Every structure is written in C-alpha cells, then in structure tokens.
Structure 1
Amino acid sequence: MVALALKDVGASYGRVTVLSKVGVDTLKSGSLTAVVGPNAAGKSTLFKRIAGLIAGPGLVELSDAANGDRAICYMPQDTGANAVLTVYESVLLSAKQGGGWRVRDDELFEIDAILKALRIEDLAFRGLGELSGGQRQLVSLAQALVRKPEVLLMDEPTSALDLHRQVEVLSFVRDLAGRAGMIVLVALHDLNHALHYCEHTIVISSGEMAVSGSTQEVINCGMLRDIYKVDARIETCSHGKKFVIVDGIAA
C-alpha cells in the first residue's frame, strides 16, 4: 500500500519564498484529503511541489509506489488543453504518456468505462474547444484517472461545475480512492464539501501550513475566524453531518 508524507516542504519562485514548512504525517492508500485556505495561500504551489514540477526544500516521501514516474498525477485547475483534439483523443493521449504508441483493446475499453463513469461519453468525439469550463474539468479528470495514479492531486476540480455535478464528482472520487487504494488530495474552497467528503484536512495560509488533522476537528469556529476572517458556526444536520454557516465578516 502506497503512503505519502511531507516533511518541512517548501517552494520558491526565484528569490521569493512562496511556501514553507509544510509537514504532514503519513497519508495512506484510500484516503481523501482536503487542502483548504484563502486565495493565493499556496495550495497550487504545494501540489506542484508534491508532483515534482517545482523544486524546494524539505522532503516529499512516497513509499511502496508501483508506477514509478506515473505514480503522482497533478490535475491543475486550468487544463490548457489542446483545442484541436477531441475528448477521446485527449484521454487516449494521456493514457499513452510515457509508453509505446500501440493502442490495445483493453486501453480503449478502459477509456470508454471512465467516460461512462463520469457521464461524459456523449462528448467523446467533440472538440475540446467546443466544451464548457465544467465539461473541460470532467475531461481533465478522465485524463488523470486513465493514467492510474497512486497519488492524485486535484486543484479545485469542481470550481466550474454546478452543485449536482460537484456532489457527483466528489462522491465518485471518494469511492474510487477507496476501491483503487489511491491517495487523493483535493484543493477546495467549499468547506462544507471538505466536511462531507474528506476525513483529513490541511489548512494553508500565507504560504505556510496553519494546521493539519481530522477534518471534523480542523474546521472549527476558531480556524474560520483566524484564517478566513469570518464569524461562523458549525451546525449538525439531523443525519449527523456537520456544516458551516457564515454569519458575517469578523470584526
């Protein structure tokens, strides 16, 4: 089973330090972790650092990974997809990255299954340039999943989706993480999604880790006031789920 740990991880752009001293104890296979914090806090930078796209101090320790350089997959918020390709071609191209170009029947079957699971099979032969922002996010998720990563980093994957699709995608990813034994980290702005779907939460603020731990413990009134500068309450639904109600801007 794959495991991921972060030890004093940081990152810089030139001489400017944008992330420092992020430390997280071992995240294990099948886990879904929320990464939350204000805009420009350093969430995307953290994902790029974990994925090895930028350098920096500290250690990203991935143990027992079987897929080598394909073990970690970063799904950015802005996909920058080639508008000339069709959806199917883009997912197939992602599947063949780092491998030979001979296409096997089982690979085509797997692509079909992923598009169907995400309910975008009807988009298969449409050009990427024809899609809405939400549709492109779903295609980006298909491109990530077809690579069979052991660690999946999702940067605000539901920002362009309507509420129904947000719930659908997060439920699908949570269930898939459990079935496939993936470690999934997802950057979210909606803290209620974090409370509902993620057992672990990392809070990033001003380029540093503010707190990390159980989602139910981390998302509390004090954190919301200190990090987000809002007065808020944590309520409990009739079925036992907690949710955030914001009353206003903190004085």
Structure 2
Amino acid sequence: MVTLQLKGLGARYGSGLAVEDVSTPVFKGGELTAVIGPNAAGKSTLFKRVAGLLKGPGEVVLEGARNEPRDALRYMPQDTHANAVLTVYESVLLAVKQGHGWRVSDRELAEIDQILEALQIADLAFRNLGELSGGQRQLVSIAQAIVRKPEVLLMDEPTSALDLYRQVEVLAFMQELARRRGTLVLIALHDLNHALRFCHNTVVISSGRLVSAGPSRQVITPEMLREIYRVDARIEQCSRGESHIIIDRSAA
C-alpha cells in the first residue's frame, strides 16, 4: 500500500520560505486527507512543493508505490488551463495517452466512458472545452486527473466552482475511488463540514506553518476553529454518525 509522509517540508519563493517545517503523520492509500486553512495560508504552495514544482528544505517520503514518483504522483492545480478547441473526450483521452504512445485500446476507451458517466459529464463528451462553464471544466479536470490512475493524487480545491450538490457527489465519488483503487488523495477544501464527512485525516495550515495533522474529528475542534478561523462553533453529531460544525452567530 502506498504511503506518504512530509518531514520538515518547506517551500521557497525567491529567497524566503512561504511554507516552513511541515511534518505530518504517515498517510496511507485508500483514504482522503483534507488540507485546510484560511485564505493565503499556504495550501497551494504546499501542494506544489509536494508535487516537486517548488524547491525547499525537508523531505517528501513516498513508499510502497508501484511506479517511480514522477509517475505515481499527480497534481491537479486549482487553476487549470486547457486547450479550448479540444472536446471533453479528446482532452481526457490525451491525459490517458500522455507519455504512453498513441495506440488506444478498447479498455482505455471504456474507462474514459465510465469516468465521464460517473462524474455526470458524459453528455458533454463532444463539446469543446471553451463552451463549458467553470464548474464543468473543473469536472473535466478531475476526469483528466483520475483517468491516469495515480497512486497519489493532489487536488487543489477541485470542487470550488461546483454547487453544493455536485460537491457532495464528487467527494463521495472520490472517497469510493480512493477506497477501491487504494489511491492516496490529498485534497484542499474550504468547507470544513466536507472534511469531517469525507476525509479520514485533516492537515491544518496557517501562515505557512503546520497547526495540526491527524484524524479529522481530532483535528477539527471548537478550539481550532476559534484559533485559526476566529469563529465560535460547536461540533454536533447527527443520528447517522456524521459530525457537523454549528457556528454560534451570537458570539460576534
């Protein structure tokens, strides 16, 4: 099983460190791990450092992967730039074949069809990317990321352009996909209730530094919400065993 651990990780912009000394527990495949924090906390910078796009001190320890790190790990940035003249199907097909020649098997075509259907964008398959809404393009980017079957997947706010219903649908799909494939997924989220519901672990970043990391229900607490997000809130558990954050509006 693939595992990932960060040891004293920092990310350098120019002569300074934008992210500094991030060390985490060992995260394992088959689970989603949320990366949360206020705006400009350093989440995207951390993802780029883990993906090898930025330099800095520390170590990314990847073990148990079947492939070399450059093939095992994939990064889905928050802002994706796609060729607007390609159709949805062409863009996902190109993602499959990147670096693997141009011969396309029936199995690969079937997998593309299955992913587009699972993300509910099969009806967009032959529309040009330039004709799509921001949310639709985001779903296509998710399809491009998962169709390559990475062992570790870094997703930087992949649901930010989606409505609430589609956010829940996509996160449930990613949760099941991770479990079925044994994929280790790190996913930057703003909705902390989503982190509680779908993510086994949570990493909290603030001002470029690690605040805490561990099981989501141990990390997302009223004390953390007060310290990092400056809100008074409580965590309530519903009858299905799920936890929800209830903000105290009177404590302004």
Q: Counterpart amino acid of 1:31?
A: E
SS of 2:26's equivalent in the other structure is strand
What residue ranges of structure 2 are gaps of 5+ in the alignment? none
How far 1:17 moved relative to its partner? Answer: 1.1
Q: 1:119 matched to which residue of 2?
A: 120
Cα deviations across residues 170-194 of structure 1 (Å, max 9, x unaligned)?
A: 0000011000000001100000000
SS, match of residue 82 in structure 2: coil
Post-superposition shift, 1:86? 0.7
2:39 corresponds to: 39
Equivalent position of 1:2 in the other structure: 2
Paired letter, 2:95: S
Name the aligned partner's letter for residue 227 of structure 2.
D
Match of 2:25, SS state, is strand
Match of 2:52 in 1: 52
Provide, for residues 206-239 of structure 1, a one-character-per-residue CA deviation record: whole Å limited to 9, x for no partner: 0000001110011111100110111111112122
Matched position secondary structure for 2:17 = strand
Aligned residue in 2 for 1:141: 142
Letter in 1 for 2:228: I
Offset at residue 249 of structure 1 (A): 9.0
Question: Percent identity over the alignment?
Answer: 66
SS at match of 1:24: coil
Q: What residue identity is the alignment partner of 2:220? A: I
Which sections of structure 1, spanning at least 5 residues, go unmatched? none
Task: For residue 230 of structure 1, give the secondary structure of its aligned residue in structure 2.
Answer: coil
In 2, the alpha carbon distance for the partners of 1:144 and 1:23 equals 26
Tell me if the contact between 1:42 and 1:205 (Cα under 8 Å) persists in the aligned partners: yes
2:8 counterpart SS class: strand
Query: What is the deviation of 1:7?
Result: 0.3
Deviation at 1:67, TM superposition (A): 2.5
Paired with 1:237 and 1:106, the residues of 2 have a C-alpha distance of 42
Check if 1:83 corresponds to 2:80: no
Aligned length: 251
Aligned partner of residue 140 in structure 1, secondary structure: helix
CA contact (8 A) 1:7 1:24 kept: yes
Deviation at 1:250, TM superposition (A): 6.9
Cα deviation digits, residues 113-150 of structure 1 (max 9, x gap): 11111111110110111111111111000000111100
| Structure 2 Cα separation of the partners of residues 31 and 239 of structure 1 | 20
The answer on whether the counterparts of 1:198 and 1:215 sit within 8 Å (CA) in structure 2 is yes
Q: Distance between the aligned counterparts of 1:76 and 1:16, measured in 2?
A: 22
Structure (1/2) with the larger strand percentage: 1
Q: Would you say 1:210 and 2:211 are equivalent positions?
A: yes
Shift in alpha-carbon separation, 1:156–1:208, aligned structure 2, 3 A: same
- Give distance in 1, aligned partners of 2:118 and 2:100: 25
Please tell me the residue identity of whatever aligns with 2:11.
A
Is it true that 1:231 corresponds to 2:232 in the alignment?
A: yes
Contact 2:25 / 2:213 at 8 angstroms: preserved in 1? no
TM-score by length of 1: 0.97
1:181-220 to 2 correspondence within 5 Å? 181-220=182-221
**Matches of 2:189 and 2:2, distance apart in 1:** 23
The answer to whether the 8 Å contact 1:30/1:181 transfers is yes
Q: TM-score, normalised by structure 2?
A: 0.96
Q: Which residue of 2 aligns with 1:14?
A: 14
